[in-house]
Structures are given as structure tokens and as C-alpha cells.
Amino acid sequence: MSGENCACGGNPALIYTCSGAADVGELADRSARQLSRDDKCAMSCLAGIGGNISGFIKSTEGADKILVIDGCPLACARKTLEEKGLTNFKHIMITELGFKKGQTEVNQENIAMICEKAVDLLGFCKSL
């Protein structure tokens, strides 16, 4: 990729993701890592938010765009940000896209589908 960031000239978008033990958690995590590798977002540390690390919280407060990807309806990633008063983000729930916990294959096709949804949701300048 050309290094163009996903905020179209502003600060890079941040992405936080579920990394749960279920297949949908793995799909969420691997999709976020793909977006980061493709220079669509800067993946950040959800544990840093949950651990109340001020640098992570301040970076999130200053981000132009934030994406949260959760694997299942427990929405652990979303709730972690909301507990710290961080609510200005877009949210993807893997199970709302037709994937089923315990029945989802984690493969490049499914990762690409989640990444495309993220690109559309945040209005990135270019597609994957």
C-alpha cells in the first residue's frame, strides 16, 4: 500500500478489537491486524484502555476515527471503551454479519469480508 492513512489526511484511525477465545474473536482480531498491515488503521491496545493506561486513553480521545470490532454480542471491546467514557466510535459485531460463534471458519475470505465492512463503515479514501 502507499501508506495513505484512513483518515484522509488527518490522524490515522485507531482500531480496537476483541481477541476472544472463540472463532469469531479470532476473526475480529485477524481482521484488525489485516487492516493495520494494509495501512487502513493503527491497531491499538484494548488491554491498555481496560488497564486505565493514560497514554492509550489520551490517544483514543484524540483520534479522528475509531473502529471497534467485537466477535459476539457480549461486546467486550465496545464495553471496555465505554467504561472509560470513550463513545465516539464505529462498531462492528461479527455475529451481526451472519457469522456464528463456534461455527465460523477463520480464513482469508472471511477476513476480507470484515475488512471491507470496516472500510465502508469508516469511509476510507480507498478500498482494500
The three three-digit cell numbers of residue 96, written as one number: 451481526
Distance between CA atoms of 36 and 116, rounded to whole angstroms?
Answer: 13
Domain assignment of residue 61, given as a range: 14-122
Residue 7 lies in a domain: no
Q: Provide DSSP, 27-84.
A: HHHHHHHHHHHTTS-EE--HHHHHTT-HHHHHHHHT-S-EEEEESSTT-HHHHHHHHT
Number of structural domains (the chain) is: 1
Q: How confident is the model at residue 127 (pLDDT cuts 50, 70, 90)?
A: very low
- Please report whether residue 5 resides in a domain: no
- List pLDDT tens digits, range 24-51: 999 999 999 999 999 889 999 999 999 9
Interval 8-37 mean pLDDT: 90
Question: Is 1 part of any domain?
Answer: no
What proportion of the chain, given as a percentage, has pLDDT over 70?
Answer: 88
Q: By the 8 A CB rule, do 63 and 41 touch?
A: no
Condensed to tens digits (0 to 9), the pLDDT of residues 60-72 reads: 999 999 999 999 9
Phi and psi (nearest 5°) for 30?
-65, -30
Please, are residues 22 and 72 in contact by the beta-carbon 8 Å criterion? yes
Does residue 2 belong to any structural domain of this protein?
no
Whether the CB-CB separation of 42 and 70 falls below 8 Å is answered with no
pTM over 0.85: yes
